[in-house]
A and B are shown apart, each in its own frame.
Chain A
Amino acid sequence: MRPGIALTWLACALLVAGCAMPPSDAEIRAKAAATMKSSFKDAGQAKLDRLDQDETQRVCSQYAGKALPPDVAKRVEQLNLATIKYPADGKLVGDWKNGEKIAQEGRGKQFSDDPAGPVGANCYACHQLAPQELSYGTIGPTLYQFGKLRGYTDETRRYAWGKVYNADAFAACSNMPRFGHSGILTEAQLRDVVALLMDPASPVNQ
């Protein structure tokens, strides 16, 4: 709290009067969250509980697009790193052809989507991947030659899995959904997306 505001609060408290002063950031945040909740309704598979923010969503919203202080960023990353589950059988790489389909699929989890699926990752909305696909977005970095440039190592495969599973573990408040952690993709789908990035035969690595 800034000293000026603290003093004004003190003056108000002493006067025990309803001082008309601008609400604090915390008050606005609380009111905004409550107003959000009262301004939406359940629709299809998208229920109101989707507005209940977890710790990561709350902190990331609070910094409003500005750089996080290093200690906050570290805390968010650690919190998310702890959520990453690697497959029990240790198999990180599936079928890149299916991975390509998942990367192209934009449906999934919208109230207008069939809850029975399909659910995609819509990677091309934000990333360049296979060079044959020219309709790609630029919110995320290019992933063309992801495996070829980084090397087809266990370490890179584990990194790719972790990044798709929970991107906030590596970059706090990333724009990228936490596909594994948030239950968007199944374990089999995660494997196929990792294959798209890491299989030497994948078009991404040509």
Chain B
Amino acid sequence: MARKLLLKDIDVPGIRSFDVYRKQGGYASVEKALKTMTPDQVIDEVKKSGLRGRGGAGFPTGMKWSFLDRRSDKPRYLICNADESEPGTFKDRYLMEYIPHSLIEGMIVSSYALGAKTSYIYMRGEFRWIFPILEQAIEEARAAGFLGNNILGTGYSLELYVHPGAGAYICGEETAQIESLEGKRGNPRNKPPFPAVVGLYGCPSVVNNVESIAAVPHILTMGGDEYSKIGVGKSTGTKLISASGHINKPGVYEIELGLPVEEFIYSDEYCGGIWKGRKMKAVIAGGSSVPILPANLILKTAKGEPRLMSYESLADGGFQTGTMLGSGGFIVMDETTCIVRNLWTFARFYHHESCGQCSPCREGTGWMEKVLHRLEHGHGHMHDIDLLVNVAKNIEGNTICPLGDAAAWPVASAIRHFREEFEYHVKHPEKVKDRKHFEKEPFVSEKKLTVAETV
């Protein structure tokens, strides 16, 4: 069994309550940090641990904290980004629902490290049922003296609030989240200035993912150096992966970074192989925004090395033959999946979630969705495929926030790796009018057929 940190106590009955969580050794990091360490020491430990942001971008958390403007005399804020809405990602929901106190504990020590007197958990609006769970956890922690004025008699005070959003994917972008928290329309801000200098209410702020914050207590109790030994290279620690799609055992798994992808998909400890004995066709490794990879490229890199579940190994080969670890939304597709239909679904999502502030994203996402709808339903033309590539290129990098990139990457990568399937949709409009076309008759590459005949 691999080492577990975040989900170590998930099977303990009643772990949701404060008493059981405390009995399992919870809140020890709060006592350790507040009583024996200075805020700078806490930040140093997190830096040493090499913890990287678990929300998708993989930016080192310790470095993000050190960018916080400490010279200004304004109050500082910590915001926990619990607006987890990426299709295929559901790890934060699991963590908050079943072990809410791990997040509360992380928020206390992280706020202490940053010198924040008020912290917010910005939660996705659709997670309505988790709202009372977190509220109750906060009340329990307050009753035990871990929140409020003068925590554990150390003189440090912290107020923690849960704020439910109204159901917008864009509010997962940190500046849009800050706008939303301020009570405005959730439009991303232009950067610079970055939130570390001008954030919530114009004050220095840090926005961190739920999982990053929940990892901080473990770093403090075991020490940053010890934590950095887990994992491989610059990808340290453990990561929650939400596995979904055509696998035998979908669910949330905690892995040590550096686990081979092949083992993750086929071992019984994790996904347990592809369902119904079918073959794997493609994998989206980190939530819907990252490039899709065909089966051969996800198991081995272009150089022929086995691919590992780590930030570096998955990104090996750039966007040509690689992808990203992203937020850990691991979607596996078997041979009956239609890549075009899947891509259309994603495009529809990004079209629906674009905030409409900057023109490439507002118009481009809708355009891509319409073209993909046409292709999938058998009304496409050959030139539509190049049109999609061109539109994706015009969106990528030209928008205010990364939503434009997130909408463009899946389109560009799907056409890069599965161009033949798009051509099939144009050539055989009658066949693809049935929505289960590849379930009835799995797609076979014509190129491979001709190769087989000549051999």
A binds B: no
List residues of chain B with CB under 8 Å of any chain A CB: none
